[in-house]
Amino acid sequence: MPDSTLTVQLERSRSAPPLIDQLASQIRGAIEDGELPASARLPSTRALARQLGVSRTVTSEAYATLLAEGYLESRRGSGTFVVERAVAAPALDPRAESTSRWLQHPAAPADVDPPSDPRVPFRICEPDADSFPDSAWRTAARAAINEAVEEGYPPPEGDADLRQKIATFLLQERGLTVAPDELMVTSGTAQSLDLIARATLRPGDLVGFEDPGYRLARQIFTDRGGVIVPVPVDACGAVPEALMDRGGDAAPMVVYLTPSHQFPLGSALSFRRRQALLDWAGRRDVLVIEDDYDSEFRFDGPVLPPLRTSSSRESVVYLGTFSKSLSPRLRLGYVIAPAPLRETLLRLKVRSDQGTHWLSQRILARYLGGGGFTRHLRRMRRLYRRRRDVLVQSLGPLPAGASWSGLAAGLHATLLLPPELPADELAAAAEREGVVVASVADYQLSRPAQNGLVIGYGASPEDQIKAAGRVLRDVIETRSFR
Amino acid sequence: MPDSTLTVQLERSRSAPPLIDQLASQIRGAIEDGELPASARLPSTRALARQLGVSRTVTSEAYATLLAEGYLESRRGSGTFVVERAVAAPALDPRAESTSRWLQHPAAPADVDPPSDPRVPFRICEPDADSFPDSAWRTAARAAINEAVEEGYPPPEGDADLRQKIATFLLQERGLTVAPDELMVTSGTAQSLDLIARATLRPGDLVGFEDPGYRLARQIFTDRGGVIVPVPVDACGAVPEALMDRGGDAAPMVVYLTPSHQFPLGSALSFRRRQALLDWAGRRDVLVIEDDYDSEFRFDGPVLPPLRTSSSRESVVYLGTFSKSLSPRLRLGYVIAPAPLRETLLRLKVRSDQGTHWLSQRILARYLGGGGFTRHLRRMRRLYRRRRDVLVQSLGPLPAGASWSGLAAGLHATLLLPPELPADELAAAAEREGVVVASVADYQLSRPAQNGLVIGYGASPEDQIKAAGRVLRDVIETRSFR
């Protein structure tokens, strides 16, 4: 295992510098910035090549350059390392000179989305805060704060009443039959994923991961030593052949999927692929992680059944969250896990935070019991559908070769673009006009990345969407006619 | 009725291995030898504890170890069984054949305290739930729930207002000058420790750790690959020479200390040792982790200053919690870390749970701002001091060679015993009379363990303490005259 996770972003356009130079320059920068500390071990050229989706020539040549320049040293039989004192005296980073031993751990580098700017109209994966059901929530909260504070630590599996209410909700809204004792409350999906990664992965274990996919999830898996196996995604969701065609010993330990509304492309996993994936996972003893982050908001067509059903219960762990349906400030989610995995997760939960904060659980249990949640979801579906329609209308007829993906559900959609309209350039042009929009490439490991823009519409009022949509349309038209 | 009768012989001398390990190892052996056949049902933890004359902690933890190792399985509602094919013919790893690949991770084994039994009078480290300041808390809560829910995820560093209030509290109560921006709110001390371990430790790194000490903390460090270096504890706290006398390259990466009120012995780290430890940590570049879990409750003598002061700020990370001063159900704590460490902790916080649940932070900020907390702490100090006095009185004059440790502060005290009164046997005898009390040996790694009983008095009403104290006194007297 390398000591450090390298964060490298390679630009693949034909006008970009050679990949070898890009890679060498970024590693050099990481060493100078202290992101790769002295003595950190680098991944092998083979592992790095796989991780970046480049040939091994690229990684070998980049390492050779840095070895020659004295940034790296090769130690026989143990790998390639950042040399001691690679950093010149007057460093940019004030820590560089005085960095304590206990600050040299590799887990630090960040690869997560930066905090979202609340002024940005197209931010992704956030619900509309103004639509929070204040009145019903406050009624529930007033009742909950009048309950006596119970003794001791909160139970690691979560409040019994809340688990009961979630089970009822899942049956009604998702057709999922689950006993409250199969459920476990967590402090949100990041924690759910962290616990699962910690329970299942040893360093070097393979993780099948949708590519493009949810970056924070990827980071959590690699933090725990997981090695990402990218699974391509198309209009029918993740492509299972990418996993099934791998050789004998190469089955991943876990596979992370967003089958109802793939993040970020928005496609739903087709029935045939569901069956193929579950069948393969059962045969190869792979744990399927189903992140059902926003399935509450399906506008067109029937809600798809979850992968986790009674027949797949032994190989699927299901994650739900209230971050999209209520608010990410709540920090409440849940996990339905195969029984033996659940036991391990509960044990690790104690070592993570002893149990989920109690008051919000009590409020949520009362709120769900009050029956207003179904109405709230219906209202939000209408609101988000309108916002989606405004987005589509404001962009108008799409240029030839462009198409929408993931319009049927969720809080964001993806605009797939033809090669002559490069998403990164459009995004940069839009940002100059004050509209921040993400590129699919930001979420993708392998190259060439899919060419598209990821457009969140859930958190923005209609007039903002309309205005920003027009800016985007102008940017696209300007480029189309160039 | 269990299917099989276990034949177990436990050795109780203080030089013997921990009872948990002895028991687990003998059951493991019985399974491997076929003495306990596949599918055999084991006695309940309660029955086995009674049969062996040990505390239920011992049997529960031994079972938990074997469950995690895959020797046993738990079937809901029917008990604990030897797994089918637990004995793999040639495999070293007995789990290999019978469990899913993704259940074979080594992180599972449990070493944490079992959920505490609310009927038990002497449970440790829990505040009095009946004294929770309901009225002032509800006033704060009513105000907080009327605030609008802010957009987006909670900030990983915590609510700005709450950090300001904590800084004011620390200055007033602990004489600690800290800027709100140096503080970080966490979901309690378990998370604080987990983040610190994750930020600083690589597998194999050494962790100086008070022995006896706080088991959950030890488990969190070993989960992250830390290797424990036991630091003996006496009436003046941790013995720094145990660390300082180690050879050249053997300085630990971090040292975990409870300097104000050592857990579980209750001693305070002497001034001379504080200076020696800080001086050594600075010289050897060791991070000192100061867990100040219950310093609010000092009854006799002045409150000791924290290790974390302005002169030690670069090598001490300070942990505080509201679990003892308000309620462990809140799941709110905080960390004051050297600036570069804090940056890493914030990054890891996002990957752990995105940020601490928002509502309780808002309530706590308002509650702390209301000024009632100081009054609450004063009231609780009086209450706990009375309970401590009742405990000491109910046990009466101690037998020769016995002495109290840690009476000056906190929610528990330790009764140190002479060799002719073995703590484990007294605890087993007390449990037969319905009084559960912990042995210092349960918290200690190295052998022989210190001979003593750890007696929590914070969570129990005076009459319970009085009754249980008398039982304990009788048990001790019976044994003394035997």
DSSP symbols for B243-302: HHTS-TT---SEEEE--SS-TTT-PPPPHHHHHHHHHHHHHHT-EEEEE-SSTT-B-SSP
Asked if the C-beta of A337 comes within 8 angstroms of chain B's C-beta atoms, the answer is: no
Within 8 A of A459 by CB-CB distance, chain B residues are 151
Residue B332 sits at the chain A interface (C-beta within 8 Å): yes
Question: Is B73 in contact with A181 (Cβ distance < 8 A)?
Answer: no
Optimal mutation site among B105, B193, B358, interface A, most CBs of chain A within 10 A: B105
Residue of chain B minimizing CA distance to A216: B351
Which residue of chain B is at minimal alpha-carbon distance from A341? B103
**Chain B: residue nearest A324 by CA?**
B152
- Please tell me the distance in Å from A123's CA to the nearest CA on chain B: 10
**Residue owning tokens 């942990």:** B319
Angstroms from B173 CA to nearest CA on chain A = 25
Residues of B in contact with A199 (CB under 8 A): 102, 105, 107-108
B75 and chain A in contact, CB less than 8 A: no
Give the E-state strand segments of A42-119 in sequence order.
72-75, 79-82
CA distance A43 to A53: 14
- 3-state secondary structure at position A291: strand
Q: Letter for the amino acid at B240?
A: P
Please identify among residues 281-320 of chain B the ones whose CB lies closer than 8 Å to any CB of chain A.
285-287, 314-315
A vs B, Cβ pairs < 8 A, gives: 250
Residue B210 vs residues B52, B256, B264, B306, B444: alpha-carbon distances, Å: 30, 7, 10, 17, 9
Q: B99, B359, B363: which to substitute to probe chain A, counting the most A Cβ within 10 Å?
A: B359
Q: How far is CA B441 from the centre of its chain?
A: 14
Q: Are B471 and B432 in contact (CB under 8 A)?
A: no
Q: Using the beta-carbon criterion (under 8 Å), do A332 and B357 form an inter-chain contact?
A: yes
Q: What is the pLDDT of residue B106?
A: 57
Identify which of A154, A188, A359 has the shortest CB distance to residue B354: A188
Instruction: Kindly list the residues from chain A whose CB atom is less than 8 angstroms away from the CB atom of residue B115.
Output: 152-153, 155
Using DSSP, state whether A359 is helix, strand or coil: helix
Greatest Cα-to-Cα distance within chain B, rounded to the nearest angstrom: 69
pLDDT at position A90 is 31
Q: Which residues of B touch A99 (CB under 8 A)?
A: 340
Go through A3-21 and write b for each residue having 16 or more CB atoms within 10 A of its CB, e for each that does not. bbbbebebeeeeeeeebbe
Q: Who contacts A68 (Cβ-Cβ below 8 Å, separation ≥6)? A: none
Q: Which amino acid is present at B354?
A: Q
CA distance A287 to chain B (A): 7
pLDDT digits (tens, 9 = 90+) for A322-340: 999 999 999 999 999 999 8
CA distance B421 to chain A (A): 31
Residues of chain A with C-beta less than 8 angstroms from the C-beta of B103: 200, 340-341, 344
Which chain B residues touch A3 with a CB distance below 8 Å? 202
- Low pLDDT (below 70) residues in chain B: 1-5, 14-15, 68-70, 76-77, 84-98, 105-120, 247-249, 482
Show which of residues 154-213 on chain B sit within 8 Å of chain A, judged by CB atoms.
154-155, 187-188, 190-191, 194, 198-202
Tell me the two tokens of residue A36. Answer: 């790769």
Residues 6+ apart with CB under 8 A from B59: B23, B45, B46, B48, B49, B52
Who's near A53: CB < 8 A, 6+ residues apart? A230, A445, A446, A447
Across-strand partners of A415?
A: A404, A453
Q: Angle B160-174/B372-395 helices, nearest 10 degrees?
A: 50
Please check whether residue A343 touches B, CB under 8 A. yes
Contact call for residues B113 and B56 (beta carbons, < 8 A): no
Q: Is the alpha carbon torsion for B238, B244, B246, B252 positive or negative?
A: positive
Q: Does B256 touch chain A (CB under 8 A)?
A: no
B138 with A145: Cβ contact below 8 A? yes
Instruction: Please give the pLDDT value at position A450.
Output: 94
Question: Could you tell me if A290 and A318 are in contact, meaning their C-beta atoms sit under 8 angstroms apart?
Answer: yes
Contact assignment for A344 to B108 by CB distance below 8 Å:
yes
Q: Measured between beta carbons, which residues in chain A are less than 8 angstroms from residue B188?
A: 353-354
For residue B344 the two structure tokens come to 């890493």
Yes or no, beta carbons of A347 and B199 under 8 Å apart = no
Name the residue among A216, A356, A360 with its Cβ closest to that of B359.
Answer: A360
Two tokens at A222? Answer: 């690699």
Partner-chain residue, chosen from B187, B194, B329, that has the shortest CB–CB distance to A150: B329
CA separation for the pair B237, B215 (Å, rounded): 17
Beta-carbon contacts of residue A18 (< 8 Å; ≥ 6 apart): none
Chain B neighbours among A 435-474 (CB < 8 Å)?
459
Instruction: Provide the phi-psi class of B295: left if phi over 0, else alpha when psi is between -120 and 50, else beta.
Output: alpha
In angstroms, rounded to a whole number, what is the distance separating the alpha carbons of residues A345 and A353? 12
* Helix, strand or coil, per DSSP, at residue A388: helix
For residue B314, the chain A residue with the least C-alpha distance is A100
> Cβ contacts of residue A271 below 8 Å, gap of 6+?
none
Report CB contact under 8 Å: A102, B254. Answer: yes
Q: What DSSP state is assigned to residue B409? A: B
Let me know: does A238 contact A257? Beta carbons within 8 Å: yes
Flag whether residue B327 sits within 8 Å of chain A, measured between CB atoms. Answer: yes
Looking at beta carbons, which residues of chain A come within 8 Å of B107?
198-199, 344, 348
Pairing of strands B316-321, B287-291: parallel
Q: Check if the beta carbon of residue B113 is closer than 8 Å to that of residue B120.
A: no
With a CB-CB cutoff of 8 Å, which residues 352-371 of chain A face chain B? 352-360, 363
pLDDT value of position B95: 37
Q: Which helix (H) or strand (E) holds A335?
A: strand A333-336
- Contact: A153, B358; criterion CB under 8 Å: no
The distance in angstroms from the start CA to the end CA of chain A is 48
CB contact under 8 A, B103 and A181: no
- Please give the span between the terminal C-alpha atoms of chain B, in angstroms, as a whole number: 35
Contacts of A116 in chain B (CB under 8 A): 152
Interatomic CA distance for residues A427 and A120, integer angstroms = 13
Q: Which of A1, A81, A93, A102 to mutate to test the interface with B (most CBs of B within 10 A)?
A: A102
Kindly give the pairing relationship between strand A206-211 and strand A227-234: parallel
A119 touches chain B (CB under 8 A): no
Residues of chain A with pLDDT under 50: 1, 86-97, 108, 112, 114-115
> Under an 8 A CB cutoff, do A100 and B150 touch?
no
Cβ–Cβ contacts within 10 Å for residue A303, how many? 15
Q: Which of A155, A219, A331 sits opposite B154 (nearest CB)?
A: A331
Which chain B residue's Cα is nearest to A219? Answer: B351
Chain A residue closest to B187 (CA)? A353
Could you tell me which chain A residue has the CA closest to the CA of B341?
A103
Contact: B112, A347; criterion CB under 8 Å: yes
- Tell if the CB–CB gap between A100 and B154 is shorter than 8 Å: no
